[in-house]
Amino acid sequence: MDPITVVIADDILNTREDVKRLLFFEEDIKVVGEAKDGEEAIKVVQQLKPDVVLMDINMPGLDGIAATERITDKVPQTAVVIISIQGEQEYLRKAMAAGAGEYLVKPFSSQELADAIRRVNDKMKRRQGSIIKLQEASEPEAPGRIVAVFSTKGGAGRTTLACNLSAVLAQEFRKRVAVVDLDVVAGDVAVLYNLVLPGSIGELAREAEINKEVIEGYIAKHLSGVKILGAIPTREEDPSEVAGRIPEILELLRQECNYVLVDTPPVLNAAVAQVLDIADDILVVGGSDLPALRRLKADLEFLATHQLGEKVHVVLNNASFEGGLKLTDVEKTLGLNSIYTISADARTLQAAANKGIPFVIMSKTSRAAQDIYRLAERFTGQETVKKGEKRSIIGKLLTF
């Protein structure tokens, strides 16, 4: 197998030499070029077309962020690892927005550096393979799937699930994803993404004509690639107005996206009924304590009564079984054979919410993030767990 080719971009010669020494004994990695600033890095990468470029963030002239943006545009088959002495989230956000696949904070070990190179290279190869398959496909692409995230219980975690699942689908699996916030009274999707919306879904619903161009005027785009059609709770909106336009709005979005996730409010109104009827999948969200399970069971019975049971996939959010209740007990209570769980991880979720960054981006290795990744696998049919990695039992429970 050919080694992973690497270019090092850093304005300090000693640092470039140090990086080469760290990689000297890695038989599957080969340094093929160097650059002392951003402009030179772009030229070297265009000439050599390496698998990976190690990019220092602070360089004279064109800095690492700007150079990364140019490289991902001009040489999209080359992955970028940003290297910096700054570990602040703002630098991470800028690096991701520019197209970097990894972000390493100095100092780091040879193992950490080599692992980062292998990860971004593997990710890029998977993405290129997916692109080739799409280009070779003779059949036109099927319309996207509409996924309703549903619960009649406030605080069940619908919005957190919708935002983090969409971020994984968009960033890790390179899917075109939109999130629709249907809670016109108290919607928080824009808050969890830390975005300012150009307009609300209620205002869109009042447009005389709705088409792709009109919808784009109400869309905000997150750095992960997710498109958000949100609600602005400070404005008085009539849910019934939104309900009447939901079918055409979602149909137009599914033509442009692989997945349209609809975050529903904790009520059963006309708009929610429209979404449940149109949806291809319904993620019914609940908790693992007895009061939450009673509400979850009522929701499932309601959906079954309206012949929607075949669309249902149950997700226990913030799940914890330390109080004696077991997952098998929950399955028996709900009459289900398979349930997916998102681990209780209050510290990670609170930190992510406070910073307006989905926790699957901010804390990718956390238990909750890994559970979201496994859930995303079911939608895409793509495997993210590396060969030899052990799955937790809860990651095997849900089959779409």
Average pLDDT over residues 3-13: 94
Residue 395 has pLDDT above 60, yes or no: no
pLDDT at 96: 82
pLDDT at 276: 94
**What are the pLDDT digits (tens) for 334-382?**
766 677 788 877 787 788 777 878 888 888 888 888 889 988 888 777 6
Average pLDDT score over the chain:
84
CA dihedral 295, 326, 349, 182 (to 10 degrees): -30
pLDDT at 339: 77
Q: Under DSSP, is residue 355 helix (H, G, I), strand (E, B) or coil?
A: helix
pLDDT range class, residue 127, cuts 50, 70, 90? confident
Average pLDDT over residues 311-319: 82
| Gap between the Cα atoms of 256 and 212, Å rounded | 9
Number of Cα atoms under 13 Å in the Cβ half of residue 177:
26
**What are the pLDDT digits (tens) for 237-261?**
777 778 889 999 999 999 999 999 9
| Gap between the Cα atoms of 162 and 275, Å rounded | 15
pLDDT at 135: 59
**What are the pLDDT digits (tens) for 48-69?**
999 999 999 989 889 999 999 9
Residue 264 has pLDDT above 70, yes or no: yes
Residue 387 has pLDDT above 60, yes or no: no
Residue 301 has pLDDT above 80, yes or no: yes
pLDDT at 9: 94
Is the model's pTM score more than 0.85? no
**What are the pLDDT digits (tens) for 131-175?**
666 655 545 567 899 999 999 888 888 999 999 999 999 988 889
**What are the pLDDT digits (tens) for 70-119?**
998 899 899 999 998 876 677 788 888 888 888 888 888 999 999 999 99
Q: Report the range out of 27-31, 190-194, 307-311, 375-379 with the highest average pLDDT.
A: 27-31
Helix residue ranges per DSSP H, the chain: 13-23, 38-48, 64-74, 89-98, 110-136, 158-171, 189-193, 201-205, 212-216, 239-256, 270-278, 290-305, 327-334, 346-355, 359-362, 367-380
> What's the gap between Cα 105 and its chain centre?
23
Cα–Cα nearest to 349, from 173, 155, 178:
155
Q: What are phi and psi of 119, to 5 degrees?
A: -65, -50
Residue 332 has pLDDT above 70, yes or no: no
**How much of the chain, in percent, has pLDDT values that exceed 70?**
87
**Per-residue DSSP letters for 288-327?**
SSHHHHHHHHHHHHHHHHTT-GGGEEEEEEEE--TTS--H
